[in-house]
Structure 1
Amino acid sequence: MLENSAGLGQLITIFIMAAALGMDAFSLGVGIGMRGIRLLHILRISLMIGFFHIIMPLLGMFTGQYVGLLLGKVTGYVAGGLLVLLGGHMIVNAFRGGFAKPVNHRSWGGMILFSLSVSIDSFSVGVSMGMFKSDLLVTILIFGFFGGLMSIMGLLLGRKVSRNLGDYGEALGGVVLLAFGLMFII
């Protein structure tokens, strides 16, 4: 029974982290949605973001497993430190306007660049998750699902609301990652 409750706790943690990472796609999606976007482009961009939210944490998890073997007992501190740094970076960027003007989302190259840019953070989180030996398939599928879902929500919402919401969404995602990083360290 203890093992099942630990597994449920890990699953909840993965869901929360996936949603926090998806806030990046959500916040930038709001900005792109405000510039005007067709439903077909929303679908294409969201599928591509979901794909990159699978590939990047997968690569990160493999890297994290290797680093975990090298670091041994200090793995938890390093993984927590990565999450703290990533969360702090997201918070700072949200309020200082750290993102450049969005790329042309209508071209395939622009969609790939945009999808990759909002998925880069997933690599770092994947490294942390790899150090904790989380379930590989479950983790990457949840990350991909939330990346795609949050981008759809941001793009659709961007068609209807103001630009300020995007900054707060990214900051919220950063706070969640920062909190998990501190939890792993403590």
Structure 2
Amino acid sequence: MSPLSIVLIGFAMSTDAFAAAVGKGAAMRKPRLPDALRAGLIFGVIEAITPVIGWLLGRAASQYVEAFDHWIAFGLLGVLGVHMIVAGLKPDDGEDAGSPESGKARHGFWALAATGFATSIDAMAIGVGLAFLDVHIGVVALVIGLCTLTMVTLGIMLGRVLGALAGKRAEIIGGVILIVIGSSILYQHLGGAA
């Protein structure tokens, strides 16, 4: 596998994470570069680990992972999206309206990790496929992780601009984006199976 192919795989695997990051960035209240880098690191590490897990599963598990990866991604992204929409529809109460704690709860480590995992299910399936090729999985995983870190960091900062334009209801936009990504993953897999 050529270095260009590996980089293209890295960017292809990071597109879902990028779109989810735009939604997260829009929902965050003025994320700063350290916030974006933190999210990028969380997504990047998860996105780098999942193809290795897939690769380790190998031939024996490929039919099982490919059979339901789209349903897992759809379910996780759907639940996270609905949660963000509900949070965006709740009126601000005076005590935590500008509180950093309220934003941290919705965009904390576990929420970011769950979104990162949901957008990396396809990378696990790619890892399974790579088990049949003469490729160093460590290099591929590192490239996927770095591409995802970069794309998520950019996505969060782009979402910041969108969030400033959309105001508090940006949480709803982020939720809709996650649901659309999950539905798109499901549609692509079900359409490809037909």
* Structure of larger gyration radius: 2
| Aligned position for 1:79 | 66
Residue of 157, 164, 167 corresponding to 1:152: 157
| Contact 2:54–2:126 under 8 Å retained in 1 | yes
1:51 is displaced (CA, Å) by 0.8
Tell me the distance in 1 between the aligned counterparts of 2:50 and 2:192.
18
Deviations, residues 18-65 of structure 1 (Å, cap 9, x unaligned) = 2222222222321223xxx2xxx4201110111112211222122111
| Aligned position for 1:167 | 175
| Contact 2:28–2:103 under 8 Å retained in 1 | no
1:143 is displaced (CA, Å) by 1.7
Residue of 48, 52, 63 corresponding to 1:62: 52
Tell me the distance in 1 between the aligned counterparts of 2:68 and 2:14.
18
Aligned pairs, how many? 168
One-letter identity of the residue aligned with 2:83: G
| Contact 1:54–1:141 under 8 Å retained in 2 | yes
Distance 1:104 1:62, change over 3 A: same
Tell me the distance in 2 between the aligned counterparts of 1:105 and 1:131.
39
Distance 1:120 1:101, change over 3 A: farther
Unaligned 5+ segments in structure 2 are 89-99, 131-136
Residue of 39, 42, 45 corresponding to 2:35: 45
Deviations, residues 52-104 of structure 1 (Å, cap 9, x unaligned) = 12211222122111112442xxx15623521343135424653xx22475973
The residue matched to 2:38 in structure 1 has which SS?
helix
Distance 1:154 1:15, change over 3 A: same
Question: Percent of pairs identical after alignment?
Answer: 15
Tell me the distance in 1 between the aligned counterparts of 2:74 and 2:185.
5
**RMSD of Structure 2 on Structure 1 (CA):** 3.5
Q: Name the TM-score, length of structure 2 as normaliser.
A: 0.66
1:139 is displaced (CA, Å) by 1.9
Unaligned 5+ segments in structure 1 are none
